[in-house]
Amino acid sequence: MLIQSLYNIVDSMFAARLGVNAITAISLAYPLQNLILSVGVGLGVGINACIAMSHGTGDTKKADQAAVHGLVLAGVHALFFIAIGLLGIRAYLGMFTKDPEVLALSSQYTYIVVLLSAGSLVHVAIEKIFQAMGNMKVPMILQAMGALINIILDPLFIFGWGIFPRLGVAGAAIATVIGQWSACLLAVFLLFRKEHSIHIRFRGFSFDRALLKRIYMVAVPSAITMSLPSILISILNGILAGISEVGIAVLGIYFKVQTFIYMPSNGLIQGMRPIISYNYGAGQDKRVKETIRFSLLVTGGIMAAGTVLFCAFPTQIMGLFHAGGSLMEMGVMAFRIISIGFIFSAAGVVFSGVFEALGRGTASLAVSTLRQFFIIPILSLILVSKMGANGIWVSFPIAETTAALAAILLYKKYQKTIAG
């Protein structure tokens, strides 16, 4: 997801040279892009868990069926987003800006990335299939290739050069979908070009209700968990709209940059899930606990490093987005306050992944919902009247600490599931 998220981040960094309206336009599209990615990865997590557990119990036929179902469902989800995009994009964007230029630019960008989102969704599904087979190298290569293509094409399509026309914000969207589709097509080629431990056969395909239930039991909570930031950003944008447009810009920049802190941890969790699922299915309870302890240690280290980075170098980070004046001042303050909660979020991140790996997706959802759908919005509404935008930033570390405690308590409740 780190490399997938780079698409919007790189677009924003280049588009920032076009002015504040351009970066605002792309920032407004970010929640929708994150929603699509969340649905794709959530489905992938469900596929991954089913394949890994089936392999752990020796049921290779069921593992094959899970992979095929995942690819078909990725296509179905793409059609859903196309329909939603055609019907509701402009109305959604219009809730957060009355500036006609920002609305026009954001609509151009969002229509392109949403209507052509099938490349991203199918690619992510295949990535999770490879990961379930124990192949982490191919997904990384595919994503790196797509992101590199986007980085190369962004300045060409945004600013124009030679045969490339100057397309501005729309050019950033075009570069994004070309990168995503390039990775998708190569992923399809690699999946079907030779035999793997997973065999993909569409002939005679029909949906298996029991398998669909197994996939979505994990996929839905995971997708909702990962899409909560999209909902949270939209809620906070609504609060900030009545206080400070600069605050909206700061929030957008923060959520892009924090990707580099949270996504490495999420990547670790993606590697942890199939290991826990497999060993849990095989009855290797000691290995399950060892994996959890290792994941907590590494994730805690990553988050601690993130706190140091955000507290020591906020000016340099904001400078990547050509920030100055009040935008720089507010951004520095926000980064330092919010990052206090990074270290506490390690427990929530790890145990959410553990719950999903054990098939306890609702527990994972409960932790994330508590943090992002209740504590942060409610505290923000209460504190913003007295502290202004700072009230929103303060709500983040409070929410992280509370969610971490809830995750630990839930784990202790489910710990009896793991014998020994």
**DSSP per-residue string spanning 116-146:** TTHHHHHHHHHHHHHHHTT--HHHHHHHHHH
SS3 206: coil
The dihedrals phi and psi of 342, each to the nearest 5 degrees, come to: -55, -50
Terminal CA-CA length for the chain: 34
Contact 396, 236 (CB under 8 A): no
Position of tokens 């390039």?
A: 182
Among 287-296, 316-325, 391-400, whose mean pLDDT is lowest?
316-325
Contact 243, 54 (CB under 8 A): no
Contact 150, 67 (CB under 8 A): no
Q: Please give the average per-residue pLDDT across 261-265, as a whole number.
A: 86
Binned at pLDDT 50, 70 and 90, residue 228 comes out as: confident
Calculate the average pLDDT of the chain: 87
Residues in a beta bridge with 164: 161
* More reliable by pLDDT, 206 or 383: 383
Q: By C-alpha distance, which of 358, 345, 334 is closest to 407?
A: 345
Q: Please give the average per-residue pLDDT across 354-368, as a whole number.
A: 81
Contact 6, 38 (CB under 8 A): no
- What per-residue confidence (pLDDT) applies to 195? 75
Write the pLDDT tens digit of every residue in 178-195: 999 999 999 999 988 877
- What per-residue confidence (pLDDT) applies to 416? 66
Using CA atoms, how far residue 390 sits from 261, 353, 380, in Å, is 21, 31, 9
pTM of the model: 0.78
Among 119-133, 299-313, 321-335, whose mean pLDDT is lowest?
321-335
Give the C-alpha separation, 341 to 93, whole Å. Answer: 30
Among 132-136, 299-303, 317-321, 343-347, whose mean pLDDT is lowest?
132-136
- What per-residue confidence (pLDDT) applies to 6? 67
Binned at pLDDT 50, 70 and 90, residue 166 comes out as: very high
Which residues fall within 8 angstroms of residue 37, CB to CB, at 6 or more apart? Answer: 1, 4, 5, 120, 124, 226
pLDDT at 273 exceeding the cut of 70: yes
* More reliable by pLDDT, 408 or 414: 408
* More reliable by pLDDT, 351 or 134: 351
- What per-residue confidence (pLDDT) applies to 294? 93
pLDDT at 164 exceeding the cut of 50: yes
Give the C-alpha separation, 45 to 22, whole Å. Answer: 34
% of the chain residues with pLDDT over 90:
40
Write the pLDDT tens digit of every residue in 331-341: 999 999 999 99
Among 113-122, 194-203, 254-263, whose mean pLDDT is lowest?
194-203
Count how many Cα atoms sit within 13 Å of the Cα of residue 262 in the half-sphere of its side chain.
20
Q: Please give the average per-residue pLDDT across 273-278, as a whole number.
A: 86
- What per-residue confidence (pLDDT) applies to 4? 60
Which residues fall within 8 angstroms of residue 25, CB to CB, at 6 or more apart? Answer: 15, 102, 105, 106, 108, 109, 169
pLDDT at 419 exceeding the cut of 60: no
- What per-residue confidence (pLDDT) applies to 71? 93
Binned at pLDDT 50, 70 and 90, residue 379 comes out as: very high
- What per-residue confidence (pLDDT) applies to 420? 46
pLDDT at 418 exceeding the cut of 80: no
- What per-residue confidence (pLDDT) applies to 153? 94
Which residues fall within 8 angstroms of residue 232, CB to CB, at 6 or more apart? Answer: 372, 373, 376, 377
Residues in a beta bridge with 161: 164
pLDDT at 278 exceeding the cut of 50: yes
Contact 48, 126 (CB under 8 A): no
3-state secondary structure 343-355: HHHHHHHHHHHHH
